[in-house]
Chain A
Amino acid sequence: MLRVETYPTAAEAARALGPGARFLGGGSLVMIELNYGASDIERIVRTTDPALKDIRVEAGRIHLGALVTMADVLRSRELSFLAPVAQAVGGPAVRSAASVGGNLFAPHPYGDFTVALLALDAMVQTAGGASHPLEGYLADRSGLVTSVSFAAPASNEFAFRKVRRVRPKGASVMSMACRLSRSAGQLSGVRVAYGAMAPTAVRAKAVEQALEGATLDERGIAPALARATEGLDPPTDALASAWYRKETAPVHLHRLLLGENAR
């Protein structure tokens, strides 16, 4: 028989997790499983810990509690650079539930917010206080996430794009985010991440390498476009084939890097 357990702190909720238990964030995915009779869920574990709803900026670093929703992100002035990302997740009523923490676990083709976090080199904090680089965390995704944190990008350093067939909402054919850090006019330490191009959000490392030391113009980015999908084996699904994703990725990467109206 299903049980719902609500704990006042994340630490207690984390201790309650185990076989047959499922943590409930905003519930936009877990509730679908329950509605459709998920037999492997025996206990729903949730927490009312207010720390998980925190949005904090401290010494240039942004901390988002795991239960911060896309709607919360859209309301925050400090997070205006992330508004296009939060806005890209579902319709308004999905965004009222969809949490930052839950997005890290959303299966393909979901996880658009995670793509942005990956491009921002986010760290994931789990209950107990451990901190993990997001890229590594995505490989095994275990433990109760309490928050994510990342350095605030300089203005115009961050960009995001989502390609979809159905507007205004619609799942990703692919999504892309980048942080275009510069040193002396040249790109340096750039991050580029893709969604819906692999089982989880991934960094486009060949693209990052090709952009190192380049200038942000047509000539400068050409080698990166040529390597847009190097090392990737995108999935085929109802939205797009692997072939289509590979063929069109350079076009979208081009627009991500140089702006919507480029070429």
Chain B
Amino acid sequence: MSKTPVTFRLNGEDAAAFADPGSNLLDFLRRAVGDLSPKYGCGQGTCGACTVLIDGEPHLSCITLAETVTGREVRTAGGLANGPILDRLQEAFIDKFAAQCGYCTPGMLMAATALLDKNANPSRQDVIDAIGGNICRCTGYEPIVDAILEASRNTRGAA
């Protein structure tokens, strides 16, 4: 089976790997690149566990053709922390008990990152809309919404 070389930026660094024809970005990141932070939940765009950012926009990696990221910037939850220093969203998720089993968390973090990158001062409704494509079966969503709002306050404080 002839594979396609895909070169792109992953979390700020150059990356390259071979994609199977027709494979989705989630499989490609996990199997070919070795970034296990985006999760597989449904493979049909409905759960949001596989959310990554492509050129700053949230995308569902399970329904993105891997080779379409050639030359583009991909960000995953694996790139949020700076060594042992957690991102403000990760800190807020801990503070607000916004992760229980944690399966939805990488997707939630990336959906929230997409929001805070373009809107530093979101309303509660903005947050609800931003995570509207992400399913969490544990928390009941309120702690997640609170955490994202807290992270936005921390960012504004730091700016």
Binding site for B on A (CB under 8 A): 1-4, 6, 24, 27-28, 31-32, 34-36, 41, 44, 46, 71, 90-94, 96-97, 167-169
Contacts and interface: CB of A to CB of B under 8 A. Distances in A.
Contacts, number: 84
Given A91-B134, A94-B45, A31 B62 contact: yes
Interface of B: 1, 4, 21-22, 24, 43-45, 48, 51, 54, 57-60, 62-65, 67-68, 111, 114, 128-134
Interface of B is mostly: mixed
Contacts of A71: 57
A93 B65 contact: no
A31 B133 contact: no
A66 to B, nearest CB: 16
Given A92-B133, A93-B60, 17 more contacts: A2-B21, A3-B21, A4-B4, A27-B63, A27-B68, A28-B63, A31-B45, A91-B134, A92-B58, A92-B130, A93-B45, A96-B54, A97-B59, A97-B64, A167-B132, A169-B132, A169-B133
23 contacts: A27-B68, A28-B60, A28-B63, A31-B24, A32-B43, A32-B45, A34-B22, A36-B44, A41-B22, A44-B65, A71-B57, A90-B45, A90-B133, A91-B48, A91-B131, A92-B114, A92-B132, A93-B60, A93-B111, A96-B57, A96-B59, A168-B128, A169-B132
B21 A93 contact: no
A41 B22 CA distance: 10
Contacts of B4: 4
Contacts of B134: 91
A42 B67 CA distance: 17
B59 A93 contact: yes
A132 B128 CA distance: 39
A36 B43 contact: yes
The list of the 7 closest CB pairs from A to B, nearest first, reads A91-B133, A168-B132, A31-B63, A93-B58, A2-B22, A96-B57, A91-B132
